[in-house]
Structure 1
Amino acid sequence: MKYLIVGLGNIGPEYELTRHNIGFLALDKLADDKGVVFEHSKLANKTEFKHKGRTIHLIKPTTYMNKSGKAVNYWMKELKIPIENILIILDDIALPHGKLRMRAKGSDAGHNGLKDINQSLGGNNYARLKFGIGNNYHKGQQADYVLSNFSKDQLNDIPERLDKVADMILSFCSIGTQNTMNKYNE
């Protein structure tokens, strides 16, 4: 069994610790835990590892957030991974900071990365793991907010939250979306 785990974010050091890059941070944490290193490949930085007899492919698209679908679609076809074995990790302003929520499918809720993935895959029938980043911004400042760095207080609890994200990813690959939702959703 093969799985494709996609962390959404933007490439470049100026985006490294921004709220919008939580997907990249989550996959960096999991890769570090598993002792694997990302390598530049077509449309993404990619690595893989084995877990309980499954091959888990991690990608961080290098297409920037708004064109994430191109990388997801390419690697899904290249690796011959069915849509039910895809999990997208992303930020969500509708959830309080640090809150984690997995969904089996759903709308893009205004998230440009998901919007592009929906268009590329022809639907929204794939699992996603949302990491709450809160919505502490003034009207019209959403783009600035998601592209700004986490506050010092928020950074303090990120490692513990990323540990839980890693557990949820491995759970998704082992016991599926519904069981993982039942076990971990907050």
Structure 2
Amino acid sequence: MKKKAIVLLGNKGKKYEYTRHNFGWLVGDLLSEKMDLFFRNEYTYSFAEKRIDEGFIYIVKPMTFMNLSGQPLKLFVKHKKIELENILVICDDVDLDFGRMKMRPFGGTGGHNGLASIVREVGTNQFPRLRLGIGRGKYGMVDHVLGTFSKPEKELLPSLLSKATDAIRDFFILDWQELMLKYNTKVSV
């Protein structure tokens, strides 16, 4: 039986709901809406699942804060018996301009504390990821990352979220060369 998981990095709580750091969760909310799925809480994560053909797709939100995302992910993949190459981690990225995304079959953390936590907990950086650009901002990293989207960003957000759900869909059907060619460019919205 095939199992794949989409792991969405973000912070729990209303305070963080529509911040740039929760870009991954926003993608997951749209994806679960499109797939008519509902999240349920278990241990230190929330997840939705859908049976497809001969397997399952899981959408997972670690319910710890971003910097501890690796703990619930490690627990989830162990509990559901999913190989790391069959997960796709979705996160924000300050090194990419807003409107860009980048898919990779593996890689470094790029200074992202959520990715660093995952690497620490699972013991490898050999897992796929989709990084969503939020840029660096003008007034300090923490304020930018934990801040809400600007008015111009909010106008582009629906198109970007839709494009990210397309990338997730394509993760299941395209090879890595095709994925990177298609999505590792400026997103046209």
CA distance in 2, matches of 1:28, 1:44: 15
Letter in 2 for 1:22: F
1:37-86 Cα distance to aligned partner (Å, 9 max, x none): 11111111110124465421001110110000001111111111111101
Offset at residue 110 of structure 1 (A): 0.9
Q: Which residue does the alignment assign to 2:46?
A: 45
The Cα RMSD (Å) is: 1.3
Q: Which residue does the alignment assign to 2:123?
A: 122
Letter in 2 for 1:180: L
Q: Which residue does the alignment assign to 2:180?
A: 181
CA distance in 2, matches of 1:103, 1:55: 22
CA distance in 2, matches of 1:52, 1:168: 20
| 1:159-170 alignment runs, 5 A limit | 159-170=158-169
CA distance in 2, matches of 1:148, 1:30: 23
Give unpaired runs (5+ residues) of structure 2. none
CA distance in 1, matches of 2:181, 2:54: 23
CA distance in 2, matches of 1:130, 1:53: 29
Q: How many residues align?
A: 184
Change (3 A) 1:2 1:177: farther
What is the TM-score when the length of structure 2 is the normalising length?
Answer: 0.93
Q: Which residue does the alignment assign to 1:18?
A: 19
Q: Which residue does the alignment assign to 2:56?
A: 55
Query: What is the percentage of aligned positions where both structures have the same residue?
Result: 39
| 1:139-150 alignment runs, 5 A limit | 141-150=140-149
The answer as to whether partners of 1:52 and 1:174 remain within 8 angstroms in 2 is: no
What is the TM-score when the length of structure 1 is the normalising length?
Answer: 0.94
Offset at residue 181 of structure 1 (A): 1.9
| 1:62-141 alignment runs, 5 A limit | 62-138=63-139, 141=140
Q: Secondary structure at the match of 2:103?
A: strand
Give unpaired runs (5+ residues) of structure 1. none
CA distance in 1, matches of 2:176, 2:43: 28
Q: Secondary structure at the match of 2:72?
A: helix
Structure 1, 48-57 or 17-26: larger mean CA deviation: 48-57
